Amino acid sequence: MKKIQILGTGCPKCHKLAENTEAAAKALGMEYELVKVTNINEIMKFGVMITPALAVDGQVKVAGKVPSTEEIKKLLA
């Protein structure tokens, strides 16, 4: 099961990233656990300076952007 983390303090872009990521994961039919990391200190532990960001199994795939569902499917695959 993949662990998907959405890093962001809860702004509209963070919600959009979570929404697109969930749609991508469902479209791929993968088993996943989606966690929203909203604590800034926890976010900083990833070395991320720009949010929102998407991490998959602990690896940050993208930061400071909200990729489309299609783009996220490639990041999750």
Please give the positions annotated as active site. 11, 14
Q: Which residues, in sequence order, are CB contacts of 17 under 8 Å at separation 6+?
A: 6, 8, 52, 54, 66, 67
Tokens of 62: 């993208």
Binding to another protein (CB under 8 A) within 43-72 occurs at: 46-53, 55, 59-67
Least distance between another protein and beta carbon 29 (Å): 25
Least distance between another protein and beta carbon 36 (Å): 11
Distance from the Cα of residue 66 to its chain's centroid? 9
Binding residues for another protein, rule CB under 8 A, total: 26
Toward another protein, which CB reaches closer, 30 or 62?
A: 62
The amino acid present at 3, given as its one-letter code, is: K
